[in-house]
Amino acid sequence: MKKYIGIFLMSLLSTVAVAQKKYNLIVGTYTAPGKSEGIYTYDFDIANGNTSLKNIAKGIPNPSYLAISPDKKHAYAVNETGDKSTVTAFKYEAKTGALTFLNKVESHGADPCFITVDDKNVLVANYSGGSLAVFSRSADGSLSEAIQVIKHTGKSIDPKGRQNSAHVHMVKFTPDHKYLVVNDLGEDQTYIYSYDLAGKEKTLTEKSVIRTNAGTGPRHIVFSPNGKFAYLVHEFNGSITAFRYKKGELTKLQEISTTLKDFKGAVDAADIHVSADGKFLYETNRGDANSISTFAILPTGKLKFIGTQSTLGKGPRNFTIDPSGKFLLVGHQYTNNVVIFNRDVKTGKLTDSGKRIDVGAPVCLIFDK
pTM: 0.94
Q: Report phi then psi at 323, rounded to 5.
A: -60, -25
- Where residue 369 falls among pLDDT bands split at 50, 70, 90? confident
Number of other CB atoms surrounding residue 119 within 10 Å: 10
Is 298 exposed, middle or buried (CB count within 10 Å of its CB: 0-12, 13-18, 19+)? middle
* Average pLDDT of the segment spanning 247-258: 98
Q: How far apart are CA 330 and CA 312, in angstroms?
A: 9
Q: Is the per-residue pLDDT at 140 higher than 80?
A: yes
What is residue 144's three-state secondary structure?
Answer: strand
CB 315 within 8 A of CB 363: no
**Buried-state track 79-95, b at ≥16 Cβ within 10 A, e below 16:** bbbeeebbbbbbebbbe
Domains and CATH numbers, the chain: 23-368 (2.130.10.10)
Q: Is the per-residue pLDDT at 9 higher than 60?
A: no
Hey, which residues does 220 pair with through a beta bridge? 233
Q: Is the per-residue pLDDT at 16 higher than 70?
A: no
CB 330 within 8 A of CB 315: no
Q: What is the pLDDT of residue 20?
A: 63
How many Å is the Cα radius of gyration of the chain? Answer: 20
Q: What is the phi-psi region of residue 258: left when phi exceeds 0, alpha when psi lies from -120 to 50, beta otherwise?
A: alpha
Q: What is the pLDDT of residue 13?
A: 41
Q: How far apart are CA 243 and CA 235, in angstroms?
A: 17
Q: What is the pLDDT of residue 3?
A: 47
> Angle 10-15-16 (CA atoms, 0-180°, nearest 5)?
100
